[in-house]
Structure 1
Amino acid sequence: MKPRNLRHFRVFLAVADLGTPTAAAARCGVSQPAVTQALSRLEAAAGGALFDRRRKGFFLTDRGLLVQSRLRRGMERLDGALAQVAPRLVLTATSAQLQALIAMVETQNFTLAARALGLAQPTVHRAITQIEREAGRPLFDRSAFGVVATRPCRDLAQAARLAFAEFDQGEAELADHDGREVGRIVIGALPLARSVILPEAILGFRARRPKTIIAVLDGPYDEMLAGLRRGEIDLIIGALRDPQPIADVVQEPLFNDQLAVLVRPGHPLAGQGTVAPAQLVTQSWAVPRRGTPARTQFDSLFAARGLPLPDSIVECGSVLLMRELLRRSDMLGCISGQQAGAELRNGLLSTLDIGIDWPGRSIGLTYRRDWMPTPGQRLMLGELRRAGAEVAERSA
C-alpha cells in the first residue's frame, strides 16, 4: 500500500469506526471530498474495495478488515509516540519525515542518513528541521562529534519502525489474500540453529511457499535482539537466555541441547579414558564467545571446581572454524553436540569423556511479545516448531 500517507490512514480508520464519510470528515477535520479522495487512493493502492458502500453506511470488506487490523496496530503505536513528543505532531508528521528521523537516529549524521535513504542531504536536513519545528523543541543534540537523538526522539523512532513493520505485514497479508507471495521473512539465527533446525524448516516452508524471500541473518545475540525489537528481524532461533533479556520479547523453548568437548581423532587425551577437569586447565581451547549460554557453562565447569580458566583460548562461534582448528592441532573444542553432529558422524571429530553431565541449554524461538505474524510467518513458525520437535524426539 505504498506510498504511505498517514493522514489517509487516519481517515480510513475513522470511516471504519464511524461508518460514514461525513462523520469521519468531522473527526479528522477535513472536508467530505477529502475523505472520498483518501479512500479512493487507498483502495487503488490496496488493489480492491475496502468498503462495501450501502445506504446505511460504509462496511468493511474482507480486504478492508485486513487493512484495518494492521493500520490500527501501527497507527495507535505511532500516534501515541508522536503525542508524547508533541500533540501537534499527530496532525503534521509525515512518513517521509519519520523515515528521515529513523535514519538520523541510526547514523547520527546527515550525510550518512541521506545515503541510507537514497536522498540528497538537504532533503533530510529539511525533514528533520520541519519535524523539530512542529515539535517545538530539538529532537537531536548537535555537537562536534555528531548528531545524537534525545530520549523522546529515540522512542519515537522505535515506534515508527514498528509501525512501518506493521504496514509491511499488512501488504503481505493483502497479497496472501489475493493468492500472491509478497514480502520476506527475516530470521536471526544463532550458530546451533543454522546447522540443526533451519535447513529442514526452510525446505519444508519452501515446498509450500516457493517464492517468499527468506533472509537468514547471523551475528552477535545482542545485535540480533536489537534488530528484533526494532522490527527488522521477525524472530530469532537459538539458545534462549536466562534470565529473559527484556520484558517485551517472548522466549519459546523447543528442545534442550548439551555441550560436548571435542578433539581430533587420535588426540593424546582421547585414549586415556575419563579426563579429569584439572587436566583440562592446561589445554588450548576453541570455545564460544563471552556472553553466550555455552560460554557460561564452559566457564562454570572450572569455577565450580575451584579451578582457573585455561589461559589459551580462541573464541569462535563457527563449527567449521573450530573443526579446522581441532583437526590441525591438539586443541580442544567446546560446542553443542547437536551442532557438531555431522563432524562426529563422519569421523572428523571425536567426543572427549570428561566425566560430567553438562546441564541442558534451552534452544528455541524469540519474538516480540506483541508480534502478530502474517500467514507466511505463521507457516515458518510451524516448520520451525516441527523441526524442533523432531530434534527433541531424537535426543530423548
Structure 2
Amino acid sequence: MIKFRRIRVALAIRQTGSAAGAAERLHLSQPSVTEAIGRLEAELDTPLFERSSKGMRPTPEGEVFCARSAEAFEILTETAGQCAKGTQLSPVWPRQVNELHLRTVIALSRTGRFNLAAQSLNMAAAAVHRAAREMETLSGLSLWRRTPYGVALTPVGEAVSRASALTLRGLELAREAMMEKKGVFDGQLRIGVLPLARAIWAPTAIADIISAYPSARIKVTDGSYAELRHGLIDGEVDMVIGALRPEKDTTDIVQYPLFSDPLSIIARSGHPLAGRRTVTPELLRTLTWALPRPDTPARQMFDAFFARHNLSAPRETVECGSLAALRGLLSLTDIVTPLSPRQVSFELEAGSLVVIGAPLDGTERTIGMAERKHFRPTQLYNAFKAALVRAA
C-alpha cells in the first residue's frame, strides 16, 4: 500500500497547481513535497503531473488516480463528521491517520483480540497496541471496549472500521483505474457468489474475463446472503451475484435484476418418479425432501407454492444449503430437492440427475447482482458485469 503522506501530497498539488502551493497547504517544505511526489510517481511507475513554468497539472493517469484517491479519503472524512455530531470534537483526524491506523481498527474488528490482530497484520502485538492508542488519541473517539474475551468495537468503532476498509479499498481501486488508463488491466475483482451463481453462471463470466484480460486477478467468496451482504458493505467484496433479496434498507446497497429463475424438483436418475412430466402438489407432499434454510428465497418460494394450493409444506428430512452435500444425498437416496436446473446443469447433462415434472409455478426468483451504493466500478468490473449479462 502506498504511503498516505505521498497521496496527500499529490492531492494538494492537484488542488493548488504547484509544489509550492502544496507545501504551504500541508505545512511542509517544498523539497519535502518534491521528494514525496517523485517517490510516489516512481512507486506507481507513472508520471502523475506535467511540469511547466506555470506549475504542475495532472496527467490523464494522474487525474484518475487523484480523483479516486480523494473520493476514498472522503469516506473517512464523512464518517468523522458523523461521529463528531453533538460533540466538541474536530473531525480533522482523517488527515492525520496512516494506513497502519486503519488496518489496526479493521483487524481488531475482525479478530476481537490484540494478539490475533497482530498475527493477521504480521506485526508485533506492541506495535498494534500503539497504533490502536494513536487512533483513539487522534480521533478523540472511544473505538473499543475491553471484554472478558478481548476487545469489542463500539458502534462508533464499527463505523470507523467500515470507513477504514472502504477507504483502503478505494485507494486500491484508484491505482487499478490509473493502470487501466495506461492499458494495463491487472486489477482484482472481488466477487461474492450465492448458491445459484456458483455452478455455471459465475464461472462462465469469469472464464470470459480471464480470456479477455489475462493479467486480471479474481477473488471469489461464497457464503450466505447475510455474510456476503456484510462483506459488501465492509468492502471485502465489491459485488454479490445470485438470488436477490427485498432490501428494506437501501442506504448501502443497490441491486440490478438480470433474469428470473423458477424452482424445479431434482432427483437421481433412478428415482421412482424419474420421467414423470406432471406431478401433483399432493404427490409432492409424500416425498422425502432436502430443503434449504427457512430464511432463503428458495425455501420461502417452496413453502408459498404449497400454500397457494391450500396445503402445508412438506417437512424437511434434511435441511441443507450445500450443493456438494445435496449432490451426494441425491445420488445415494430417493431424497428430492427444489433447485434451479442451472445449479446442476452438468449432472443433468450427464444423466446422473433428472428433473421431475414441470417447474413449480410461482417460484420464480429474481437473479442479479448487488453493489455498494456509490461504488464506482473500474473498466474491469464493467467488463465483468457485461460478461454476467451475456452468461445470464
Normalized against structure 2, the TM-score is what? 0.91
Letter of the 2:325 partner, please give it: L
User: Once the two structures are superposed, what CA deviation does each residue of 1:189-215 show, in whole Å capped at 9, x if it has no partner?
Assistant: 112212231222122212211122222
Shift of 1:311: 2.7
Other-structure match for 2:330:
326
Where does residue 185 of structure 1 map in the other structure?
Answer: 189
Residue number in structure 2 paired with 1:58? 56
Alpha carbons of 1:101 and 1:356: their partners in 2 closer, same or farther (altered >3 Å)?
Answer: closer
Partner of 1:40: 38
Q: Deviations over 1:56-85 (max 9, x none)?
A: 221111221121122111111122324535
Query: What one-letter code is carried by the residue in structure 1 that aligns with 2:29?
Result: S
- Give, in whole Å, the separation in 1 of the partners of 2:361 and 2:306: 14
Letter in 2 for 1:315: E
SS of alignment partner, residue 373 of structure 1 = coil
1:373 is the counterpart of 2:372: no
Number of aligned residues: 386
Which deviations, in whole Å up to 9, do the C-alpha atoms of 1:286-313 show, x marking residues without a partner?
1222322111111212333443332333
Amino acid at match of 2:106: I
Decide whether aligned partners of structure 1 residues 287 and 26 sit closer, same or farther in structure 2, where only a CA change above 3 A counts. Answer: same
Task: Tell me which of 100, 108, 120 is aligned to 1:116.
Answer: 120
AA partner of residue 195 (structure 1): A
Structure 1 runs not aligned, ≥5 long: 389-396
Q: Which letter does structure 1 place at the counterpart of 2:149?
A: F
Aligned 8 A contact 2:17 2:57 in 1: yes
Shift of 1:134: 2.6
Instruction: Report the counterpart of residue 155 of structure 1 in structure 2.
Output: 159
Residue identity opposite 2:206 in structure 1: I
In 1, Cα distance between the equivalents of 2:358 and 2:184? Answer: 54
Give, in angstroms, the shift of residue 259 of structure 1.
0.4
Residue aligning to 2:14: 16
**% identical equivalent positions:** 37
CA distance in 1, matches of 2:210, 2:94: 41
Q: State the secondary structure of the residue aligned to 2:342.
A: coil
- 1:304 partnered with 2:302: no
Q: 2-side partners of 1:324 and 1:256: how far apart?
A: 27
**For 1:98 and 1:26, how far apart are their aligned partners in 2?**
27
Q: Supply the distance in 1 between the matched residues of 2:308 and 2:289 (Cα, whole angstroms).
A: 18
- Superposition pairs of residues 1-396 of structure 1, within 5 angstroms: 2-5=1-4, 7-83=5-81, 84=83, 86=89, 87-243=91-247, 246-270=250-274, 274-353=278-357, 356-388=360-392
What TM-score, normalized to structure 1? Answer: 0.90
Deviations 1:10-52 (A, max 9, x none): 2321221221233323322333333223222222222132111
Query: What are the Cα deviations for residues 305-336 of structure 1, in whole angstroms up to 9, with x where unaligned?
Result: 44333233322234443233223222121111
Question: Could you tell me which amino acid in structure 1 is paired with residue 165 of structure 2?
Answer: R
Return the letter of the residue paired with 2:263: L
Whether the aligned pair in 2 keeps the contact of 1:275 and 1:355 (CA below 8 Å) is no
Structure-2 residue corresponding to 1:391: none
Question: Measured at CA, do residues 89 and 272 of structure 1 come closer, stay the same or move farther in structure 2, by a change above 3 Å?
Answer: closer
Question: Is the Cα contact below 8 Å between 2:290 and 2:317 reproduced in 1?
Answer: yes
What root-mean-square deviation, in Å, do the aligned CA atoms of Structure 1 and Structure 2 show? 2.3
Unaligned runs of 5+ in 2: none
| Residue-by-residue CA offset, 1:329-364 (whole Å, 9 max, x unaligned) | 221211112223333333222322379523321111
